Amino acid sequence: MESKIENLEQLDLDALVKYFPDIFNSFSHTADGKYVFINNLQEDYSIWSKEAVEFFGLPSMEMKNAGEIWLEHVAPEDKKRYMDDVTALFNGEKDVHDMYYRAMSKDGEYVTCSCKGMIIRDDDGKPKYFAGTIVNHEKEDTIDPVTGLYSHQSLLRQMATFSHDNRKYFLTFLGIQRFANINATYGYEMGNRILKEFASHLMQNKQHCMIFRLEGTKFAILSEAEMVGVVQADTKFNRVHDYAKNEIEIDGIRIPVDICGSGMYVEKPSMDINTVYNSVLYALDIAKKENRQTLLAVDEDFFSQNEKRLLLLAKIRNSIHPSIKGFFLTYQPIVDSKTEEIKGVEALLRWKDETGCVIPPDVYIEWLELDPLFYELGNWILKTAMTDMLPFVQEQSDFIVNVNLAYPQLQRTDFNENLVRILQECQFPAKNLKLELTERCRVLDKEQLKNSVAFFKSLGICTALDDFGTGYSALTLMVNLPVDQIKIDRSYVHDIETNKEKQVLIHAVTECANGLGKQICVEGVETEGAADYIRKNFSTTYFQGYYYAKPLELADFIEFYESKKK
Residuewise pLDDT in 10s, the chain (566 residues): 344 556 555 555 566 566 566 656 655 554 556 788 899 888 889 999 888 888 899 999 899 998 899 999 998 878 888 898 888 888 888 888 877 777 888 888 777 777 888 888 888 888 888 888 887 765 555 677 778 888 877 888 889 888 888 889 999 999 998 887 787 677 777 888 899 999 999 988 887 788 999 877 899 999 887 666 667 888 889 999 999 999 898 888 899 999 999 999 988 888 888 788 888 988 998 898 888 989 998 887 787 777 777 788 888 888 887 789 999 999 999 999 999 999 999 999 999 988 999 998 888 887 787 676 788 899 999 999 999 999 999 999 999 999 999 877 887 778 888 999 999 999 999 999 999 987 666 666 677 788 889 999 999 999 998 877 654 445 667 877 889 999 998 888 989 999 999 999 899 889 999 999 999 999 999 999 999 999 999 999 999 999 999 999 999 999 999 998 86
Beta strands in 204-289 (DSSP E): 209-213, 218-224, 249-250, 253-254, 259-266
Contact 146, 192 (CB under 8 A): yes
**From its phi and psi, is residue 195 left (phi > 0), alpha (psi between -120 and 50) or beta?**
alpha
322: preceding bond cis by omega (within 30 degrees)? yes
Cβ proximity of 453 and 410 under 8 Å = no
Beta-bridged to residue 331, according to DSSP, are 347, 552
CB 486 within 8 A of CB 520: yes
Choose among 499, 557, 555: nearest CA to 530.
499
Q: How far apart are CA 112 and CA 73, in angstroms?
A: 12
Report which residue type is found at 20.
F
Q: State the Cα–Cα distance between residues 206 and 531, nearest whole angstrom.
A: 55
**Burial of 566 per CB tally in 10 Å (0-12, 13-18, 19+):** exposed
Q: Compute the distance between CA of residue 460 and CA of residue 432 in angstroms, rounded to an integer.
A: 9
What are residue 210's DSSP bridge partners? 222
d(CA 237, CA 241): 6
Q: Which of 133, 135, 182 is nearest to 24 (CA)?
A: 133
Name the DSSP class of 67: H
83 CB-near residues (< 8 Å, 6+ apart) = 71
- Helical pair 273-289 and 152-164, crossing angle rounded to 10 deg: 130
| CA neighbor of 339 nearest in space, from 551, 533, 519, 541 | 541
CB-based contacts of 457, cutoff 8 Å, min separation 6: 463, 482
Please give the full DSSP string across 385-443, using - where no structure is assigned: HHHHHHHHHHH-TT-EEEEEE-HHHHH-TTHHHHHHHHHHHHT--GGGEEEEE-TTGGG
Which of 258, 223, 215 shows the shortest CA–CA distance to 408? 215
For the CA atoms of 209, 213, 218, 220, the dihedral, rounded to the nearest 10 degrees, stands at -20
- With CA atoms as reference, report the closest residue to 220 among 178, 158, 269: 158
| pTM given for the model | 0.64
Q: In order of start, what are the domains of the chain with their CATH numbers?
A: 8-139 (3.30.450.20), 152-317 (3.30.70.270), 320-565 (3.20.20.450)
* Best CA proximity match to 542, nearest among 386, 361, 341, 371: 341
- In 122-187, beta strands by DSSP E: 127-136, 169-176
SS (H, E, C) 466-503: EEECCCCCCHHHHHHCCCCEEEECHHHCCCCCCCHHHH
Q: Which of 233, 246, 216, 207 lies closest to 294 in space, CA to CA?
A: 233
Nearest to 423 by CA among 400, 390, 377: 390
Q: How far apart are CA 347 and CA 330, in angstroms?
A: 6
Q: How far is CA 457 from CA 20, 345, 414, 451, in A?
A: 51, 20, 17, 10
Residues 6+ away with beta carbon under 8 Å from 497: 529, 530, 533
